[in-house]
Amino acid sequence: MRSDPLGSRAIGVIGGSGLWRLGILHDAEPQAVSTPYGPHSDGLVVGTIGGRTVAFLPRHGAGHRLPPHRIPYRANLWALGELGVERVVAVSAMGGLRPDYAVGDLVLPDQFLDWTRGRPTTFFDGPVVVHTSIADPFCPELQDVLATAGEAAGFRVHRGGTCLTFEGPRFSTRAESRVYREVLGADLLSMTLVPEVVLARELGMCYATCAVITDLDVWGQEPVQADEVTRVMESCRPRLAQLLTLAIPRIPEGRGCPCAQGGRAEAR
């Protein structure tokens, strides 16, 4: 599927549209990529960070217009693959479910639980059936680089954790939050991680998430408020920009991880 116009050393960044407006992406040029899954989220741009080619894609589109269940995940990942991206760094706001998490902390999850329903979660709709190994969904090489850069940028960094993805766009009830924590053992809550991480592995891409704790869900003292989530993310953007500025030039040009094997899954 890949035409590779940027070369295989290009790095994809998926996040909020406010990140690249901080000036970390240089020589940015808009891009539009045709995909078999329709249009990708608008706002895709290509530029450089620290001399490395970066394709930046705002997950929710320019102006944050797409709710989590309407994001064209397959088109987004396919478009990045068509540009030659083999590594994806995702930036996300997430709810924290552990008492040692504080608002503003950075978490690099290493597992996920899929609590979504009705989203297309694979490129393999038949007639070829492919079962992709995803026991370890996140790239350890990327996580090492991001952890070091996150600490240097001033974040309190937590390595590891299980992220549960639910549909949204509403927040959890108190009963749901209790089940997520006490029954399922989740550490983080997201509305967008799945199917993004799964589709990346199906394409043989490395993928890692920088999860900013924006709230403590409803097991905390107060119910989650969307404007507070936005405020926390805005306050963290300078540190996120510094994290990406430090991390991207340090990502090895050659891959020594097993992530690419996902793109060569055996059909059964």
Q: Which of 42, 144, 217, 227 is catalytic?
A: 217
Confidence bin at 267 (pLDDT 50/70/90) = very low
Q: pLDDT at position 172, please?
A: 94
Q: pLDDT class for 153, splitting at 50, 70, 90?
A: very high
pLDDT given at position 265: 44
Residue 171 pLDDT exceeds 60: yes
Binned at pLDDT 50, 70 and 90, residue 4 comes out as low
Q: Helices 73-82 and 193-202, interaxial angle, to 10°?
A: 40
Residue 217 among the catalytic residues: yes
pLDDT at 240 over 60: yes
pLDDT of 263 higher than 60: no
| 11-264 fold | Rossmann fold (3.40.50)
What pLDDT, in 10s, does the model give residues 86-135?
Answer: 999 999 999 999 999 999 999 999 999 999 998 999 999 989 888 999 99
Which residue intervals of the chain are DSSP H helices?
A: 73-82, 140-152, 174-178, 193-202, 226-247
